[in-house]
Every structure is written in structure tokens, then in C-alpha cells.
Amino acid sequence: MARQIIPTTCLLALVLGGGCTMKDDAQSAQTLSGVWHVDYIEGRGVIDNSPAHYQFHADNQLSGHATCNQFSGAYSVEQGEITIGELATTRKMCPPALMEQEQRLLEALKRVKRWKTDNGLMYLFDANGAELFRGGPWNK
């Protein structure tokens, strides 16, 4: 009996341990899906009633509202890391404070590499683990 338990235990440890180290990119992308409003950009709150939000679509497209303008582009998830491609934006002008916020948002999006969800909030981070964005589900 002891002979049978040891190999079974080793096999179980190998299977479970291997499963923990492998990241299923399709499932990872699924946790990104949804529309998320932006509450903070690099630790700074957004301007009240700002429509800033983004959506990671299941077909690897990213779109949203950067504050004044709409944006869209492609993203990929490989080995648990996000890469956001070039973004196209509309060219509407807004008051200077809104334009500055929009520029910060678009610049920060270029640096996003990781994410996590916690208590209904989405957090986006750069490659060094610095928080770039924080926000909840978009309800409008």
C-alpha cells in the first residue's frame, strides 16, 4: 500500500504544481473582459464626472474614452503579460485640465503590462509593478 501511495502522491504533486505555473492566456484575457471606469491614473484621481473608461474585448481589441476622445487599438496577452499596440484616437479639443488628464491616460496605457482584479476593482500595472490605473466596472 505504501508503495502505491508514494508514486500517486508524487504524480499528484507534479500535476498540481505544473498547473500552477502554467498560465492559460485565453482565461487570463477573459478576466480582463468588461468595461472599466478609471478612478485613478498613476495615483492621481480623475476629474469628477470624467467619462474615462476602457474595455478589453475578447477579440483582443481595446477601446474606450480617454476623457475627451475615443480610442481603440489591439492588445495581446502572452504568458500573463499584456502588450498594448498603437492606439488610434479621435481629435476633439476639451478644456486644458481634461486634455492633460487624457494625455496622462494615453501615455500610461502604453506602459501597462500586468493586471489584477480585487474586490470588484481592476488594477493595471507597469512592468515594475507600479500601479497605473484603478477603477471599477462601468455602469453607464
Give domain limits for the chain.
Answer: 24-135
Q: Structure pTM?
A: 0.76
Please determine, for residue 94, whether its predicted confidence score (pLDDT) is greater than 70: yes
Is residue 1 predicted with pLDDT exceeding 80? no
pLDDT score of 6: 47
CATH architecture assigned to 24-135? Beta Barrel (2.40)
CA 73: distance to chain centroid?
14
CA–CA distance, 119 with 113 (Å, rounded to integer): 21
Q: Record the cell numbers describing residue 117, joined without a space.
A: 482584479
What's the mean per-residue pLDDT of the chain? 83
